[in-house]
Amino acid sequence: MINWITDSIGRWTTPDPEEELMMVGHVLKEEDRLTLVHPPVLPGLPDVLASLGSVRAIILTTHDHTRGSRYLSDLFACPIYAPVQADRSRLDAGRVQRPEWYEESTPLPGGLVARRTIVTMSDGRPYMDEMSLQRSDVLFIGDLLTGNLDGTLAVCPEQFPGVSDVEQKTAKVARALLGSIGSAPRLVLAGHGWPFSGDWQAALTKRVGEAP
């Protein structure tokens, strides 16, 4: 059920009922302590997690990825960390009502450090506002990036079908990520798609250069 990417980082997937995508959850294991990132629920998942250790925390990168967080939080009696800028109504819809709010300066479980990325369109309209979670060996991200099956990198909204002005939005996302995250590890794990291992900064720089 859980596929281990490294000795301490695993992932599992399930179809997204609202998108033509797979939802991906991640677990970060430190001895017997587990941290979950935007976790969907599967039959049997709680038993698998319990066999691995103690779930100490759940971290959301965006209000769009509440998924099974409330259920798992209640089951394991652990806190849910949510970005301070998250839309409260979207969290309420996912039954995440009393999270631990975090910002870039907040110490997080698993040795993770938060970085906020705000994407604004040319006319000033807000487009995306998410947190990423980074450590020396990994970057967890919500919708802003994802890996493709062929090993390439998709920049939002390339992975979402039916979106208009893809090239313009992709360049805006790429530029915002380059400005907000800086130096980061080569392993990128997103809320959808596949792991990406490589020079993500070069891929983003290329998107910016290709902007119309």
Q: List the 54-59 sheet strands across, edge first.
A: 3-4, 9-15, 22-30, 33-37, 54-59, 80-83, 100-102
- Position 212 scores a pLDDT of 65
Per the CB < 8 A criterion, the answer to whether 39 and 70 are in contact is no
The per-residue pLDDT of the chain, averaged, comes to: 90
- Position 150 scores a pLDDT of 92
- Position 132 scores a pLDDT of 94
Domain boundaries, the chain: 3-209
Cα 45 from Cα 35, distance rounded (Å): 14
Fold of 3-209: Metallo-beta-lactamase; Chain A (3.60.15)
Per the CB < 8 A criterion, the answer to whether 70 and 48 are in contact is no
- Position 127 scores a pLDDT of 84
- Position 81 scores a pLDDT of 98
- Position 184 scores a pLDDT of 65
- Position 183 scores a pLDDT of 66
**E runs forming strands in 22-178:** 22-30, 33-37, 54-59, 80-83, 100-102, 113-120, 126-135, 138-141, 145-147, 153-155
Q: What does the pLDDT look like over 89-120, one tens digit per residue?
A: 999 999 998 999 999 999 999 999 999 999 98
- Position 40 scores a pLDDT of 96
Which mean pLDDT values do the consecutive 10-residue runs of the chain (212 residues) have? 95 83 94 96 96 97 94 97 95 93 96 93 82 92 91 86 80 89 81 91 84 68
